[in-house]
Structure 1
Amino acid sequence: MRSSGDHAARSSHHWWKRQPRETKDRTQGMVTRRAFIDATSAVGATALLGATSAAAGATTAPSAAGVTHDEARARDAIRAANVGMRAGYAALKSELSTRLSPVIVVQNDATGGRFTLVRDGSPRETVRPVPELFELAKSISHVPQGIFSILAAYISPTVPRLPNADRIDPHDLELVAFERPGSGGWSDPLQRYAATLTTARRQLVRANLPGELEHSCRQILDASLAYIGIAVSSGTCDTASFQRYSARVYPSIRTNMEYAAAAQISGVEGLMREWRARIGEERWRDLYTVVLSIWTTSELNQASIIIRRCMNPAKVATHLIDLSTVEVPHDPVAVALDNLARIVVDNVSAETVLPTDPVVADAFKGREDLLSVEILRQLGPTAGAAPSASPSTKEPTCPIRKE
């Protein structure tokens, strides 16, 4: 199997060979990459040096930190070297992002995910492959969380005497339970949610769900409506009674989870087989997959678990990228390709710029900060931290096992 470096080199060679001489610098209204680097360097340096020099020139006396005017100018000149580096890096990354291929970008969502196939830097096809059953099963499973979200602010901020009390952080509970207990502000919102659940319960039989799934959804809805009725009529809500209710519906939630997982597996694996046949085995071996998800679901991500089985086993550790986001990006494909371009550039530059220190090179290539190795070395064994394992050495295992 050819290396990714050889593949990149050959791809670059063929691209240049195919282009007419007058288009090799991406003319016709587009600046050349060299011009872009030079212009960006100049603008960046001017902005940096101008702002800093103006501040330094406001007085000829040494600054409060003891830095003279000449020292400030000299330090600005040093910083300009980094401005130039960043300009060149940005240009390389930007151009590379238009050449990445093949790539699958996955944006997780409530329907099982949006999958986009990218070839030569351009999205070719976007599909939602997961059957609707996934969304329906999860929708009813989320009902207890919906009830809790309404009640949480009004429960007691004191950790209750419950079997799992030691697992509840007292400070976290105080932050969540920010309303005055007993104020009753939860009653109207809860009754409105009950109306939504009542409609779902009445329509459930018409949804044409598998018998077992329909039964589990009915149990969750019935128990939820009964709990809401008692809470509203008594005018009280507390953690203990909610936990008794949630424990009763949990077996039904697990049934829904089984149906949702089976639907996602069948949908995603079916799409992977289709795209693999279309791309061809040779190119599929070099496939990159970028899965975007919010931080709370980025570890053992459901899409990643399925997709890794469909990728080249020799490269899955480095070519399957779980990208954690703060919120759903406006353009998931652009975000994925920009980050993937950075990863690919760093993979090559780490071994080229830092060829004599594999440990630091691995930090450069991975998710560690480049200085993390040196900081840990200086802090010593009492630092209480260690470099995280690289993706190539981490094999996830599922914490939930079916008995």
Structure 2
Amino acid sequence: MATRRGFIGGASGIGTAALLGYSASPSAAADTTTTTTTTTTTDAVTAVTPQQAKDSIFAVNAGMRANYATLKAELVKHLSPVIVVQNDAKGGRFTLVTESGQLSVNPVAETFELAKSIAHVPLGCFSVIASYLADKIPNLPNAGRIDPHDLVLVAFNDDKSTDWIPPLLQYAATLTTARQNLAAAGLPAALAKSCGNILDGALKFIKNSVAAKTFDMKSFEDFTGSVYPDIRTNMEHAAQAQIKGVQDIMKTWRAKVGEQAWADLYCVVLSQWTTSELNQNTIIIKDCMNAAKVATHLIDLPGLETPKDPVFTALDNLARIVQDNIAAEMVFPKDTKVADALKGKQDLLSDEILIQLGGSTTAAASAPAYNTVSAGVCPVR
């Protein structure tokens, strides 16, 4: 197994600085200035243009960024122990990072993915027909919650068109195959029954819609409403599988790293923005960590797309957080509010901007918190 130093050894300060929006070293930053300043024996500055003066000031921040990136790149090599969680269709890929290397597993049983796969059938049907909806608010119980503008954006195709039929029939073929093979999957009886009901309901909706060459939200609501109890059953089985898988791997790794190291464990959960609050893995993990540190050591890192190298992305961002924690207290030792801002998500200029815009300042935080999960008691002893 490659060591952590070997894994990240190729990451230079310049390479990491690029993630900050700057890609030059301190010396290179100095070389970019065009100052032609001449200095006399009395240190008087002459022949400096306004732009040259500005460039010399810009170079100060460029040098800071390069130094910051170099420190971060080196700090990444010393982060341990860390668990990186990449949320995926299998319930999450977990990577344990220690001084001796990395270990990655998908700890959640297949039941999780199988249950969720069938639970997603109504959304699969909706995704085919959505753009052909009439761009008027339908007569639904939740009509008042639908944004008319958003509906127009989604229903961008002609609602009189039947172009939705071929892709919906193609999806029906996939559902039919799954229905025929369901009994051979070896699912628990209750889960097999709920999956069958969901597949049957979807195939009935598709058959009727294709035969009529039309659909409306009332017929779709009838379908989704009829299978909703079965979807809840699938969710129950998926949750049980995920809880057990995550708790088991956390228990195993806790024994592996030892109690002393586990007390300082960092966990970084990579997720999409749409699932970043009350993320399923975050909820489970928090109760397996040191309750005194979970607010600052369990970090939800939402993004738009899955990064090419999730582990390095997590470690790189964690290094930034760790060094900011220390920098905050040493750079701003006399202003704990500003220090807390540097340690957390608040921008240092936010209070001043709020003041100038006539708003109220943000409340001072007693301690930095990177997510909203509360402290818990670890069930794994």
TM category (shorter chain) comes to 0.7 to 0.9
Structure 2 Cα separation of the partners of residues 212 and 335 of structure 1: 40
Structure 1 Cα separation of the partners of residues 326 and 169 of structure 2: 58
The aligned residue for residue 146 of structure 2 is 168
For residues 120-199 of structure 1, the aligned pairs below 5 Å read 120=99, 123-199=101-177
Structure 2 Cα separation of the partners of residues 393 and 175 of structure 1: 32
Which stretches in structure 1 are left out of the alignment for 5+ residues?
A: 1-28, 55-67, 398-403
- Residues 69-111 of structure 1: per-residue CA shift (max 9 Å, x gap): 7211111111111111111100000000011000000000000
* Same amino acid, percent of matched pairs: 56
Deviation at 1:240, TM superposition (A): 2.1
For residues 2-401 of structure 1, the aligned pairs below 5 Å read 40-47=25-32, 49-50=33-34, 70-120=49-99, 123-381=101-359, 386=362, 391=369, 394-395=372-373
Contact map agreement 2:300 2:371 (CA 8 A) in 1: no
Deviation at 1:239, TM superposition (A): 1.8
Structure 1 Cα separation of the partners of residues 131 and 195 of structure 2: 27
> AA paired with 1:73?
Q
SS in 2 for 1:373: helix
- Any runs of at least 4 consecutive aligned residues in structure 1 with deviations exceeding 6 A, and if so which? 29-33
Structure 2 Cα separation of the partners of residues 247 and 31 of structure 1: 52
> AA paired with 2:92?
G
Deviation at 1:31, TM superposition (A): 12
CA pair 393-133 structure 1, distance change in 2 beyond 3 A: closer
Normalising by structure 1, report the TM-score: 0.81
Structure 2 Cα separation of the partners of residues 246 and 214 of structure 1: 18
Normalising by structure 2, report the TM-score: 0.86
CA pair 252-329 structure 1, distance change in 2 beyond 3 A: same
> AA paired with 1:91?
T
Contact map agreement 1:368 1:388 (CA 8 A) in 2: no
Contact map agreement 1:160 1:239 (CA 8 A) in 2: yes
CA pair 125-395 structure 1, distance change in 2 beyond 3 A: closer
Deviation at 1:395, TM superposition (A): 3.9
- Residues 197-244 of structure 1: per-residue CA shift (max 9 Å, x gap): 000001001101000000100100000000000000001122222122
Deviation larger for 186-195 or 232-241? 232-241
Structure 1 Cα separation of the partners of residues 145 and 333 of structure 2: 47
Deviation larger for 361-370 or 385-394? 385-394
The aligned residue for residue 4 of structure 2 is none
Deviation at 1:161, TM superposition (A): 2.1
> RMSD in angstroms over aligned alpha carbons?
2.5
Structure 2 Cα separation of the partners of residues 127 and 248 of structure 1: 37
Structure ranking higher in helix proportion: 1
> AA paired with 1:142?
H
- Residues 362-400 of structure 1: per-residue CA shift (max 9 Å, x gap): 11111121211221222233x7x9569752783469xxx
Deviation at 1:32, TM superposition (A): 11
Structure 2 Cα separation of the partners of residues 143 and 393 of structure 1: 32
SS in 2 for 1:391: coil
CA pair 387-254 structure 1, distance change in 2 beyond 3 A: farther
